Amino acid sequence: MKLFDVHTHIQDDRVRDIRAAIMARAMAAGVDRIMVCGLHEQDWDQVLAMAHDHDCLVPSLGIHPWFIQGRSVSWAEVLRKKLETHGAAVGEIGLDRMIPDRDDQDQEQVFVTQLNIARDLGRPVNIHCRSAWGRMADILKERGGLPQGGIIHSWSGSADMVRVFEGFGASISFSGSVTRPDNKKVRKAVCSVSRDRLVLETDSPDILPTGVNAMLNEPAFVRVVLESVAFLRHESVDEVAAYTYDNAMRIFSACENVHAPKELHGME
């Protein structure tokens, strides 16, 4: 069994001292690839360096909506140049209508700029969306969808919206939130996703799956997400593992380390 955790932040300082152990546990659990998503300009070089040092890590660079106020005046140019010289996805990017004192217009401008960069360079995207499903759908519709592909991470929308976003070329990713018995909307939505559009994630070190005895989330726990998804879809664990891995490898095929031979160098 091979798994691809399509959304993590293991560059986070909270796991700095245990990062090597986290990665080793992930490999032991069958996690073959881990996408590391940058959040702002200050962590982009770290994400790229981690992917350079570890063939199991797949880089993604972007400005998360939580961090747009801290961006530099040249952020878009810097992002484009880094993507031109590195095989990274674009993300984590998106819209978040739950941020207090936010500027929705500014948030959308940053999001669309990053979509433009992804389209220009033929890169998949890793998208965050909270309480902005209608506006997100409008933006993607206006832009002709996601011809370069990508995912909506940690899906929290309805089952009906799944087909809308699949129609835009997006794949749908589920995190530990799907393991929560009271999260009926997400548990219903996972059954609506097409087999060729479903992927798995942890969003480490956050969104710890239900029943896991740990302080922080980590990529090894994507197996718990897998088991919940398989149960809800009435499919075998091996079956879901196989097609979600293949889906992720296809979606992020333009990124470095995806189809390169995986080695555990630098893990000591």
Domains of the chain: 3-251 (3.20.20.140)
Per DSSP, the three-state class of 19 is helix
The pLDDT value recorded for residue 262 is 54
* pTM, full prediction: 0.96
The pLDDT value recorded for residue 259 is 87
The pLDDT value recorded for residue 64 is 98
- Asked if 39 and 69 count as a contact pair (C-beta separation under 8 A), the reply is no
Tokens describing residue 87: 């095989």
Q: How far apart are CA 39 and CA 239, in angstroms?
A: 32
Query: Quick one: 19 exposed, middle or buried, by C-beta within 10 A (0-12, 13-18, 19+)?
Result: middle
- Interacting residues of 181 by C-beta distance below 8 A, sequence separation 6+: 187, 210
**What are the residue ranges in the chain where pLDDT is below 50?**
264-268
Q: How far apart are CA 27 and CA 59, in angstroms?
A: 17
The pLDDT value recorded for residue 265 is 37
The pLDDT value recorded for residue 261 is 59
